[in-house]
Amino acid sequence: MKSSELRAKTKEELVAELASTEKELFSLRLQKTVGGVTGNSAPRSHSFKQARRKIARIKTILNEKTRESHE
């Protein structure tokens, strides 16, 4: 998701998106751990990077919106 799309969302939507992305990252980590044990294929390594960057984008935009409301 692009930053411009995230900026168009409200704080509540961003918080929900953040929670969803954090769950996705947790799920990827779990798949990686369990996949090594059971022999299933582990998730692609770029998925972790994408999820972490998306979380960072959302947190940055939430911080910007918070600063705007305090001014």
Tell me the pTM.
0.85
Residue-level pLDDT at 18: 97
Alpha-carbon distance of 70 to 10, in angstroms, equals 16
Do 53 and 18 touch, CB atoms closer than 8 A? no
Q: Which pLDDT belongs to residue 69? A: 84
Output the domain CATH number for residue 29.
1.10.287
Express as a percent the part of the chain with pLDDT over 90.
Answer: 68
Residue 17 has pLDDT above 70, yes or no: yes
Other beta carbons within 10 Å of 64: 11
Q: Say how far apart CA 42 and CA 64 lie, in whole Å.
A: 35
Output the CA torsion 12→16→21→22 (10° steps). 100
> For 9, which DSSP code?
S
| pLDDT tens string 27-43 | 999 988 887 666 666 67
- How many separate domains does the chain show? 1
Residue 9 is encoded by which pair of tokens? 């969302």
Range of the domain at 47: 3-70
pLDDT computed for residue 38 by the predictor: 61
